[in-house]
């Protein structure tokens, strides 16, 4: 699908999308069309229960084609995020209509927030985010075949400014789509080696990409990460992606992702029902990869390092056992209680490596770490932990700005000590209650004094239902928040 901007003239062909305020109040251009059509729009509204409430939709058929009326409410709700939702909803509607082209008329409204060109760009962004599909493995009934719209034009007077603003948002969408693709790929196609190859392809957008194999990691002493991949016939990998858009010598920002390409649970095997979901246990690594791509495509003025630990957690004659004791790169030893608590083992070595090699300004890790987080917060908010209030505040602001939900969870000595082991420095699994918190405390033991945040995206990486800007499937949740965090706090400083 093609999205473009044009000066505000009425098109001769395709559907026309017009806004209507609450109580069926029409803006000047809509009023003009109503008049030209002999009051058709007014008649249609009166003959239905459409009143112009926020996000309400009414389709009207005129002699010159389809007209979609879109509810603007009182107008004071309208901001960037509202426009993204509208863009997504309108595209969904048009895709089911049979229309191949449509023009959306953007009119100024005194109560709307921000500049009109910015709102128009975010409308286009919402439509773009809505248009994502993953149907490459379908040989028939493809979603892309039944989506009819080929061209969406946004008619706005400030069209060239809008177009420029949209091109930066497109870079972010590129990153979101990259993350969604990775999460959606099946585990027979996406495993540590093939994942690392996809990341190497990011060199074309200007990222430096290094791949460590088991030999290199073993030399570095990464016994925690390596233990997880030990039962798999596929070699574990650690991928380091670097974007150097900032000043030379400036400390980078550090992002770390859990990349368990498939999590069977290992010897502590998971139940069969729903195990297929564990193909997206690499969701954290996908978001870090998508973020790195977005930053590179939009040429962010900042230094950033992304590290992903890629493994497959399988049961096998050579697999790690409950009772094993492994030594992490930090030198701290870990008693394996449950081989299904594997994500934290991967992150422990990746966090330590990031901190020692790059001395980042902060470290943010993302992981589909615990089922307990889904129990706690559902799929509305991502639970996160932080040892640094400034970083926490920046993250919450960024999440709010892009409309992604984030909720802070506690850390603390009483939780932390629940991870002590009698036979090693710590154990990898604590009691059932507070499972997300004790997992975070485990990670905290590998960050020393670096400002750090841990995002447990277990409930966020995958969605079973369509939302206006997030189709069901892999969501790419977090790419937008982290891009915003970087952009509004760390670029050009």
Q: Site for Zn ion (CB under 5 A): which residue of 187, 252, 309, 343?
A: 343
With tokens 């596929």, the residue in question is 234
Separation CA 440–CA 386 (nearest Å): 9
Helix 389-402 vs helix 479-489: crossing angle, to nearest 10? 120
Classify residue 281 as left (phi > 0), alpha (psi -120 to 50) or beta.
alpha
Query: Which residue, chain included where needed, has tokens 């008693």?
Result: 335
Is 187 among the residues that bind Zn ion (CB under 5 A)? no
Interaction between residue 65 and ligand BES (CB under 6 A): no
The residues near 299 (Cβ < 8 Å, ≥ 6 apart) are 206, 245
Q: Cα separation of 352 and 367, whole Å?
A: 16
Quick one: what does residue 372 bind among ligand BES, Mn ion, Zn ion, none, with the CB cut-off 5 to 8 Å set by partner type? ligand BES
Query: Rounded to the nearest whole angstrom, what is the least distance from the CB of residue 373 to Mn ion in the complex?
Result: 13
The SS3 call for residue 233 is coil
Q: How many CB atoms lie within 10 A of CB 273?
A: 7
Give yes or no for residue 263 binding Mn ion (CB under 5 A). yes
For ligand BES, the binding residue among 26, 372, 376, 419 (CB under 6 A) is 372
Residue 223 and residue 240: Cα distance in Å, rounded?
18
List all residues 6 or more positions away from 162 whose beta carbon is below 8 Å from its beta carbon.
5, 116, 117, 118, 120, 121, 124, 154, 156
Q: Is 366 in the site for Zn ion (CB under 5 A)?
A: no
Residues 445-474 interacting with ligand BES (rule: CB under 6 A): 458
Q: Could you tell me the smallest distance in angstroms from the CB atom of residue 459 to Mn ion?
A: 15
**Nearer of residues 90 and 190 to ligand BES, judged by Cβ:** 190
Q: Which stretch binds ligand BES (CB under 6 A): 3-11, 108-116, 203-211, 362-370?
A: 362-370
Residue of 174, 185, 263, 444 interacting with Zn ion (CB under 5 A): 263
Per rule CB under 6 A, count of chain residues that contact ligand BES: 15
The helix-helix angle for 343-358 and 435-444 (nearest 10°) equals 30
Instruction: Please report whether residue 301 would count as binding ligand BES according to CB under 6 A.
Output: no
435 binds, among ligand BES, Mn ion, Zn ion, none (CB under 5 to 8 A by kind): ligand BES
Of the candidate residues 107, 281, 335, 396, the single one contacting Zn ion (CB under 5 A)? 281
Among 257, 260, 283, CA closest to 365: 257
Q: Where are the alpha helices (DSSP H) in 185-241?
A: 192-200, 214-220, 223-229
Catalytic residue among 242, 344, 427, 487: 344
Query: What is the rounded distance in angstroms from the CA atom of residue 474 to the CA atom of residue 81?
Result: 21
Nearer to Mn ion, 305 or 373 (CB): 373
Residue 436 CB, nearest distance to ligand BES (Å)? 8
> What are the beta bridge partners of residue 365?
256, 454
Is the CB of 263 or the CB of 444 nearer to Mn ion? 263
Q: Tell me which of 29, 66, 151, 270 is the catalytic residue.
A: 270
Is 270 part of the annotated catalytic residue set?
yes
Q: Which residues ranging from 358 to 387 are in contact with Mn ion (CB under 5 A)?
A: none
Element (H, E) at 371: helix 371-377
* Minimum gap (Å) between residue 365 Cβ and Mn ion: 16
- Kind and range of the H or E run holding 26: strand 25-26
Closest to Mn ion by CB, 118 vs 342, is 342
Name which position in 370, 386, 469, 489 contacts ligand BES (CB under 6 A): 370
Rg of the Cα trace of the chain? Answer: 25
CB of 367 to ligand BES, least distance (A): 8
* Strand blocks (E) in 35-78: 57-62, 65-73
Let me know if 237 is a catalytic residue: no
Among 56, 84, 107, 263, the residue binding ligand BES under the rule CB under 6 A is: 263
Residues near ligand BES, by CB under 6 A: 263, 281, 338, 340-343, 368-372, 429, 435, 458
Catalytic annotation, residues: 270, 344
Residues near Mn ion, by CB under 5 A: 263, 340, 342
């Amino acid at each position: 699908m093609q999205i473009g901007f044009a000066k505000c003239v009425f098109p001769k062909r395709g559907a026309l999308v017009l806004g209507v305020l609450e109580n069926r109040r029409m803006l000047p251009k809509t009023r003009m069309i109503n008049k030209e059509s002999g009051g058709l729009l007014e008649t249609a509204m009166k003959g239905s229960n459409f009143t112009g409430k926020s996000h309400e939709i009414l389709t009207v058929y005129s002699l010159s084609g389809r007209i979609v009326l879109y509810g603007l409410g009182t107008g004071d709700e309208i901001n960037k995020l509202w426009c993204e939702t509208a863009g997504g909803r309108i595209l969904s509607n048009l895709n089911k209509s049979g229309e191949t082209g449509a023009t959306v008329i953007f009119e100024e409204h005194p109560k709307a927030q921000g500049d009109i060109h910015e709102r128009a760009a975010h409308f286009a962004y919402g439509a773009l985010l809505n248009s994502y599909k993953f149907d490459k493995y379908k040989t028939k009934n493809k979603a892309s075949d039944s989506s009819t719209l080929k061209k969406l034009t946004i008619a706005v007077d400030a069209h060239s400014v809008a177009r420029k603003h949209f091109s930066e948002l497109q870079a972010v969408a590129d990153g979101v789509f990259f993350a969604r693709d990775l999460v959606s790929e099946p585990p027979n196609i996406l495993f540590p080696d093939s994942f690392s190859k996809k990341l190497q392809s990011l060199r074309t957008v200007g990222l430096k990409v290094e791949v460590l194999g088991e030999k290199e990691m073993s030399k570095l002493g990464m016994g925690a990460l390596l233990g997880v991949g030990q039962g798999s016939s596929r070699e574990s990998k650690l991928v380091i992606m670097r974007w150097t858009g900032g000043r030379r010598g400036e400390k980078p920002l550090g992002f770390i992702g859990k990349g368990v390409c498939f999590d069977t649970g290992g010897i502590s095997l998971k139940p069969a029902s729903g195990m297929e979901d564990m193909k997206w246990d690499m969701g954290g690594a996908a978001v870090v990869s998508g973020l790195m791509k977005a930053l590179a495509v939009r040429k962010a003025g900042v230094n950033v390092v992304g590290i992903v630990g890629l493994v497959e957690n399988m049961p096998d004659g050579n697999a790690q056992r409950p009772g094993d004791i492994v030594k992490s790169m930090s030198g701290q030893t870990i008693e394996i209680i449950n081989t299904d608590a594997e994500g934290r083992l991967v992150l422990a070595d990746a966090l330590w490596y990031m901190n020692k090699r790059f001395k980042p300004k902060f470290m943010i890790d993302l992981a589909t770490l615990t089922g307990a987080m889904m129990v706690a917060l559902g799929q509305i908010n991502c639970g996160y932990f932080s040892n640094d209030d400034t970083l926490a505040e920046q993250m919450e602001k960024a999440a709010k700005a892009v409309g992604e939900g984030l909720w802070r969870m506690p850390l603390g000595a009483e939780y932390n000590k629940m991870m002590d082991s009698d036979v090693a420095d710590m154990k990898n699994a604590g009691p059932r209650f507070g499972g997300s918190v004790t997992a975070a405390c485990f990670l905290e033991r590998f960050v020393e004094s670096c400002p750090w945040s841990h995002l447990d995206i277990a409930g966020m990486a995958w969605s079973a239902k369509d939302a206006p800007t997030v189709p069901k499937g892999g969501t790419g949740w977090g790419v937008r928040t982290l891009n915003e965090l970087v952009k509004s706090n760390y670029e050009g400083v």
